A and B are shown apart, each in its own frame.
Chain A
Amino acid sequence: MIDTRPPLIEVEDLKTYFYLDEGVVRAVDGVSFTIRRGQTVGVVGESGCGKSITARSIMQIVRPPGRIVSGSIRLHREPTAADRPGDVVEITRMDPMSKEMRLIRGGEISMVFQEPMTSLSPVHTVGSQIIEAITLHQPVSREDARRLTIEIFSKVGMQQPARTIDRYPHQLSGGMRQRAMIAMALSCNPSLLIADEPTTALDVTTEAQILQLMRNLQKELGMAIMFITHNLGVVAQMTEIVFVMYMGRVVETATVDDLFYDPKHPYTRLLLRSIPKLGSKAAGTAPRLESIRGTVPHPYAIPKGCPFHPRCGDMIPGVCDVVDPPLVKIGDSQEVRCHLYTPANAPGSGEVIPLTTT
């Protein structure tokens, strides 16, 4: 199945490094992917693999000592007429402080963060912080912005919107704060919403409500969502396509179905095996929760060849620890960065090589 929706964001060979006294941290080291209009994509990977920095790079809000070193991020605007393609802007070419970039931030691309407790200013009312977003991007008066805020508050299921608007963040529960954050992010009808672990800090019930809310809003408003998470259960519920990241790179791209039923990269397989199976615990037959062998290598000392090879059970000596694996396309929609699938090592086919169990 080939996705025919037009592209919205094209990231190509993006590199974002942090220049520290101790050395250079290659937080994002050659990431490429495409998000299409209205698509929900998931980004998964262990802590520190560069998910958040990829998101911040798209918004150009990486702070020194970090900066985008190379690569391109293209934003495709909606066509104004049926016969004319929309503008394509190159985000990495823009000055992060420029007006042009600021209008994209919060206007065309917006973001919801992990910590609803600290993501809102403690000394301003939640309403005023959303009104600010609206007046920055839309030519409306403060009164109209206030009205719009109340409207969007009821849309995100905020209790008593007309009263909550004048509340301070510390007077709201975590779930309500995250709803306020979502309201802020959606207040200007962005074409892409980046949600960086938006439910990690919430309890399970609230998490379920927020996920349901995001699904409904996505259906209603049709924006694309880039969903960053550790939780593969959330990925299964929320997304169409998944990027698996390891050490600043996308190592596998797959549809949700392929990810769960036909994972290719050894890292993806281990990631999947590390989630407990539902019900197995109750049956008393729970296999030990398998965590991935070893830890992420030190960011200053990225291994030669495939960065995953020291932890990989299927490492091919002399290949994986020497040569950087190329990107291999499998089928229409799956891509994997692994030597096991290159023609040289899997002659004649894209067939899956039987993996040794570790």
Chain B
Amino acid sequence: MIQYIARRILLMIPTLFVISLISFAIIQLPPGDFLTSYVAQLRTQGESIDAAQIEALEEQYGLNQPIYVQYWKWISGILLRGDWGRSFEWGRPVGELIWDRIGLTMMISLLTILLSWAIAIPAGVYAATHQYSFADYLMSFISFFGLGTPSFLVALIALWVGLAVFGVNISGLYSERFINEPWSTAKVLDMLSRIWLPIVVLAIDNTASVIRTLRANLLDELSKPYVETARAKGVRETALIWKYPVRVALNPFFSTVGWTLAALVSGETLVSVVLSYQTSGPLLLRALTSQDMYLAGSFILLLSTLTVIGTLLSDILLAWVDPRIRLEG
């Protein structure tokens, strides 16, 4: 097991390296170097910047040096000093901007996964064990519907219903009075009272796809001989279903938590834009449209890294639950 994990971690290194190259390439994409645009931006705002300052910045980012030196300066800055570069649009270090939002995004995504599993696993098991029953058909219908409707549309509808029917504005992660407040218990409670909306909206898609996959997997497993063995042994039917075939049918979900997280993060972007949430997605979108490349590159680097780590965690999880993988290791 330890060997298996060590090997997986080693395999991660080249992946992360490639990701960092891509992120760096994105930073380099806009024509001209960012310093020129930074200076230009400052000038238009009527501020002046002296030559010594410019030189210091050039030195810091290695701008006059070959591209690989620039890359090295950037990545070693991140790895050794936690220096992610500067966001020109916000005029602040990138590091200050992203952690809060990434944290929020991750929290929403994780809660979404938990919620959708809590609904989808019992529902999928019921559908598979009551194949062709009314409830089974109903669930298939709802799943198709859930998968066919884009999340942002559901978010828009929820907003409209909130305003039109209940007369409350449910957009924004906090009530207006908390927006510029520092964190406090009241603010956290206020956030929790609103955060369920994006979670529910996002969970619809994932719930629908988990129900469908679990139902198909479980139907396969239910006809396997080991289920009959358990039945012939005298195990109670419900206990038997959950202990044997469900256990096996769930394995693929553990192995895809990583991808699910990635998909959720991208889905979350749209929903958060619609609901005007201060999470990472809208920030990334804005950074990309305004060519705030250090911010954008860092985001992409960080989110991709988290996805890779998520995949690693799900692989470890799968090895832990499935002896066939663990022991072949």
Interface set of A (CB-CB < 8 Å, partner B): 59, 61, 97, 102-107, 110-111, 113-115, 118-125, 129, 132-133, 136-137, 168, 170-171, 181, 184
Q: Does B248 contact A (CB under 8 A)?
A: yes
Q: Which of B287-329 contact A (CB under 8 A)?
A: 321-324, 327
Establish whether residues B226 and A105, one from each chain, have CB atoms under 8 Å apart when the complex forms.
no
Residue of A nearest to B251 (CB): A123
**Minimal Cβ-Cβ distance residue in A for B321:** A123
Residues from chain B with Cβ under 8 Å of A115 in the complex? 225
User: Which of B228, B235, B244 is within 8 Å of A136, CB to CB?
Assistant: B235
Q: How far is the CB of B200 from chain A (nearest CB, A)?
A: 33
Count of chain B residues near A, Cβ 8 A: 22
Q: Is the CB of B231 within 8 A of A105?
A: yes
Q: Is the CB of B327 within 8 A of A136?
A: no
Residue pair A168, B228 in contact (C-beta under 8 Å): no
> Residues of A contacting B324 with CB < 8 Å?
122-123, 168, 170
Chain A hits for B233, CB < 8 A: 105-106, 110, 132-133, 136, 184
Nearest residue, chain B, Cβ from A64: B131
Confirm or deny: B237 has a beta carbon within 8 angstroms of a beta carbon on chain A: yes
Interface hub of B229, B231, B247 (most chain A Cβ within 10 A): B229
Shortest beta-carbon contacts, A-B, top 5? A106-B234, A106-B233, A105-B234, A102-B234, A119-B225
Name which residue of chain B comes closest to A187, CB basis. Answer: B233
- Which residues of B lie under 8 Å from residue A170 when comparing CB positions? 323-324, 327
Q: A115-B225, A129-B230 are in contact. List 6 more A-B contacts (CB 8 A).
A: A118-B224, A118-B225, A119-B229, A122-B226, A123-B248, A184-B233
Q: Is the CB of B230 within 8 A of A121?
A: yes
Which residues of B are interface residues toward A (Cβ below 8 A)?
A: 224-226, 228-237, 244, 247-248, 251, 321-324, 327
How many angstroms between the C-alpha atoms of A136 and B277 in the bound complex?
A: 54
B232, A106: Cβ atoms closer than 8 Å: yes
User: Do residues B234 and A137 form an inter-chain contact, with CB atoms below 8 A?
Assistant: yes
A61→B244 CA distance, assembly (Å): 17
Q: Are A123 and B231 in contact (CB under 8 A)?
A: no
Residues of chain A contacted by B236 (CB below 8 angstroms): 102
Among B235, B247, B323, point to the contact of A102 (Cβ < 8 A): B235
Chain A minimum-CB-distance residue to B234: A106
Nearest Cβ on chain A to B222's Cβ, whole angstroms: 9
Distance in angstroms between the alpha carbons of A95 and B311 in the assembled complex: 46
> Can you list 6 residue pairs at the A/B interface with Cβ under 8 Å?
A105-B234, A113-B225, A119-B226, A125-B323, A136-B235, A168-B327
Using CB atoms, name the residue of chain B closest to A171: B327
Q: Give the residues in chain B near A110, CB-CB below 8 Å.
A: 232-233
State the Cβ distance, B47 to closest chain A Cβ, in Å: 65
User: In the assembled complex, how far is the CB of residue A301 from the closest CB belonging to chain B, in whole angstroms?
Assistant: 26
**CA of A170 to CA of B234, assembled, Å:** 24
* Cross-interface CB contact of B229 among A136, A168, A181, cutoff 8 Å: A181
Q: How far in angstroms is the closest Cβ of chain B from A267? A: 29
Q: How far does the Cβ of B218 sit from chain A's closest Cβ, in whole Å?
A: 14
Bound form: Cα–Cα A102–B239 in Å? 13
CA distance A103 to B228 in the complex (A): 16
B247 adjacent to A113 (CB under 8 Å): no
Contact A168-B232, Cβ < 8 Å, known A113-B225, A122-B226, A122-B248: no
User: Whose C-beta in chain A lies nearest to the C-beta of B323?
Assistant: A168
A61 proximity list for chain B (CB < 8 A): 228, 231-232
